Amino acid sequence: MRASLAAIAAAGLAFAVPAAPPAAHPDLSGFWGPMRQQHPVDAALMAKLPPNTAVLDDSGVAEFPQGEYGGLKLKPAALAEARKWKPEDEMTVARTCAAPSIVYAIQGPFPFEVYQTPQVIVFRYEYFDQVRIIFTDGRPHLPANAPHTKVGDSIGHWEGDELVVDTTHLAPATITNNGLNHSAGLHMVERYKLSPDRKRLMATEWFEDPAVLDNNGARYIQWTAQPGNHVAGYDCDPSFALNYQQGK
């Protein structure tokens, strides 16, 4: 009887005392446009990058020329493959609209939109119409044998004011847009946070791929808030490649 009363009292208490509201997280929602300047970087974010990491300074408009991999240490087989690459290989109807994975895509000079809920956060990119669903409901990654895609499988959590996104299941694609490709085993971790004035979104993208690299890679990326703007469709037209091929 005493136990029953205690249970009833506890139940009553549960009704009488509202559950504590979920911890308030920063709201990253909105349109984020690319910034021409990636410097200066956020030192606190950079300090959280793991050891043995080369930070590639090709975010935004810059790109590495042929043979430059930004400090990444390629395994011999990966280097041999990268050296076979020729720029004109990409200018074909079959290749020109082949989307890169988000390892390369998110740093480009294109905007994206964020839609945020407590359970999922959606990143909608203009570049190649890519969409990511980042689960923040505590679920684990997909089983290892699940399909790999160019956007992969992303789960996220908050560490203070930072959104931490862990991504696996990425289909092999370029890292530096010049012949260096990652494997299906690449693992990526991104950290996002707002600037104090909330006008910039800052991030680090870190990745490891032991099948391809002897060290790890990272980029620093930042975007500027542009309220009222929206992402346009990309709708890539592969016939673009024919114009190059027809040049004589």
Partner 1 sequence: MTRTWVFAVAIAGSFAATAAGAHHSFAAFFDPTKSVTVKGTVTAFAFTNPHGLIAIDVPKPGGAVEHWRAETNAPVILERRGWARDTLKAGDVVTLRGWASRDGKPYIRLVQANRADGSVIGVPFDSSDK
Identify the residue among 6, 44, 87, 118 touching partner 1 (CB under 8 A): 87
Peptide bond into 40 cis (omega under 30): yes
* Both structure tokens of 191: 């950290």
Nearest of 221, 189, 222, 193 to residue 208 by alpha carbon: 189
Q: Can you tell me which residue has the tokens 């290989």? A: 89
Look at residue 210 and give its three-state secondary structure. Answer: coil
Identify the residue among 101, 130, 136, 178 touching partner 1 (CB under 8 A): 178
Residues 6+ apart with CB under 8 A from 30: 113, 114, 225, 226, 227
Residues 211-240 that bind partner 1 (CB under 8 A): 215, 218, 232, 234-237, 240
Q: Are 129 and 54 in contact (CB under 8 A)?
A: no
Q: Which helix (H) or strand (E) holds 80?
A: helix 76-84
Identify the residue among 31, 32, 110, 123 touching partner 1 (CB under 8 A): 110
By beta-carbon proximity to partner 1, the closer residue of 56 and 78 is: 56
Q: Does 97 bind partner 1 (CB under 8 A)?
A: yes
Identify the residue among 25, 26, 42, 68 touching partner 1 (CB under 8 A): 68
Residues 122-151 that bind partner 1 (CB under 8 A): 126-128
Instruction: Please give the size of the binding site for partner 1, defined by CB under 8 A.
Output: 51
Q: Which residues bind partner 1 (CB under 8 A)?
A: 36, 46, 49, 51-58, 60-66, 68, 70-71, 87-88, 90-91, 96-98, 100, 108-111, 126-128, 177-178, 215, 218, 232, 234-237, 240, 243-244, 246-248
